[in-house]
Amino acid sequence: WYQRRVRGVLNYYTNYYYKSNLSCMYFLTLHDNTALVDEACALLESSWPKSRFSRSRKLCSQPCPDLPVSIVMIDSAVDDVTEGVIGHYRLSETLENEKWCVVESVIISTKYRGLGYGSTLMQHCITLARSLSMEELYLSTKDKMAFYARLGFTSSTAVSILSKVNIIFRGKHSLVTASTGLPGVEWMSKDLVNL
């Protein structure tokens, strides 16, 4: 039942069309749209260099209905000429609590920054997390604290992202410590229950 529910929620919230006065946007899951993986990798590499092979494996590593899931934002002009991948985020569960999630690899193409696309991408992420019955959304950032604060995020402690490697430790927190990340990284969270 849960897997069918999550698949339905992901399909509803990720394959929909959003129209603003700027342009038309689509949100798609990468594991269902593998033709977009190279574009998503190129966008991510523009800010965070990494092996293309390693990144593409991570982006499509987990099929629905389970988290993690990588979402891309596609921009289409009014005449339906596709601009391509202009944004990305990855939503994963935390090790500490199955009702908490982490958004990572949030990025908007430089051409679209400062126009409200980042806020739209994050609103989509928040909506998707809430629809999956998540109660808290975490992220880490080096220099975008003010942006995330405007979206209702507040300073928090670090959490660990649930992965195939540490899934066996769920519930055994004394064996796993939360990653604090690199120096200068700020962890933030948003309560998804009391919006």
Supply 25's token pair.
């946007």
pLDDT band at 172 (very low <50, low <70, confident <90, very high): very low
CB 87 within 8 A of CB 122: no
Nearest to 141 by CA among 186, 84, 91: 186
pTM above 0.85, yes or no: no
Is the bond leading into 65 cis (omega within 30 degrees of zero)? Answer: yes
Nearest to 136 by CA among 187, 166, 97: 97
Element holding 126 (H helix, E strand): helix 117-131
Does position 38 have pLDDT exceeding 50, yes or no? yes
Convert the pLDDT of each residue in 97-154 to its tens digit. Answer: 999 999 999 999 998 999 999 999 999 999 999 999 999 999 999 999 999 999 999 9
Cα torsion 63, 67, 73, 79 to 10°: value is 50
Query: Across-strand partners of 102?
Result: 92, 138
CB 93 within 8 A of CB 56: no
